[in-house]
Amino acid sequence: MVRITDLVKTYQLEGIEVRALRGLSLTVDPGAFIAVMGPSGCGKSTLLNLLGCLDRPTSGTLEIGGVDVSSMSPTDLAILRSQKIGFVFQTFHLLARASAFANVMLPFVYSGYPSERRKPRALELLQYVGLQDRVRHRPNQLSGGQQQRVAIARALANDPGILLADEPTGNLDSKSGLEIMALIERLNREGKTIIMVTHSRELAEHAERIVHLLDGVMIRDEVVAERRVAEVRPDAEPA
């Protein structure tokens, strides 16, 4: 569970104080799928950075799995990131010189994952995202959708409970975007908590709940009445 209470984040930008979040409170249940929407500058990215333990709040508390992380040391935050959180970025952030396999292997060194289980785990994850035939390919030999799949496999490496997705389909065509959404839905169905930042209403409707931000505060907490489904579920598939 993620619980945010009165979260405030201010920072200095060229001498001017920017109040990115101004007392945000939010609770995300385990296994939930929420979308965060709002115009640029509303505090979406700041929120995601705080949720990802890449930054610390100015005030307020942020609990992840019952632990208050708002005053943790950078080292403890790093450990938390490696174990509890998976990142999916708009620009994939794959290492260009490394193969799909090597990219998925990357998180293992920082989490101290048992070395004899790394290789099978990485291969299993690549299979999970449907890239068992692209294991040795480098990012520049893969399509955008495939690259994002590699990034998702990498985010899953240490089996985190929470997946933070920042515009995960922003750099993809609609077909690949939908495929990625299907993958995210599947992960959610299998128990991952998904927090996705997007400015596309259409994409946000794949979530069960949409949090609307404006100027650092939540202006609306919307439950999606009719969820979009991208995933073609095997049991729903007509023969």
Considering the rule CB under 8 A, would residue 1 count as an interface residue with other proteins? Answer: no
Size of the site for other proteins (CB under 8 A): 25
SS3 162: strand
Considering the rule CB under 8 A, would residue 95 count as an interface residue with other proteins? Answer: yes
Considering the rule CB under 8 A, would residue 107 count as an interface residue with other proteins? Answer: yes
For residues 134 and 154, which CB has a smaller minimum distance to other proteins in the complex? 154
Considering the rule CB under 8 A, would residue 79 count as an interface residue with other proteins? Answer: yes
Query: Any idea which residue has 């933070």 for tokens?
Result: 164
Angstrom distance (rounded) from CA 142 to CA 176: 12
| Span from 91-99, 169-177, 178-186, 214-222 in contact with other proteins (CB under 8 A) | 91-99
Site for other proteins in 159-218 (CB under 8 A): none
For residues 1 and 79, which CB has a smaller minimum distance to other proteins in the complex? 79
Angstrom distance (rounded) from CA 153 to CA 155: 5
Angstrom distance (rounded) from CA 119 to CA 214: 44
209-236 burial code (b ≥16 CB/10 A, e <16):
bbbbbeebbbeeeeebeeeeebbeeeee
Residue 168 is encoded by which pair of tokens?
A: 């995960």
Site for other proteins in 25-54 (CB under 8 A): 49, 52, 54
Count of CB atoms situated within 10 Å of the CB of 208: 16
Considering the rule CB under 8 A, would residue 10 count as an interface residue with other proteins? Answer: no
Considering the rule CB under 8 A, would residue 78 count as an interface residue with other proteins? Answer: yes
SS3 content of the chain, % helix, strand, coil (to 5): 35, 25, 40
For residues 109 and 232, which CB has a smaller minimum distance to other proteins in the complex? 109
Considering the rule CB under 8 A, would residue 55 count as an interface residue with other proteins? Answer: yes
Note the residues at the interface with other proteins (CB under 8 A).
Answer: 49, 52, 54-55, 74-75, 78-79, 81-83, 87, 89, 93, 95, 97-98, 106-107, 109-112, 154, 158
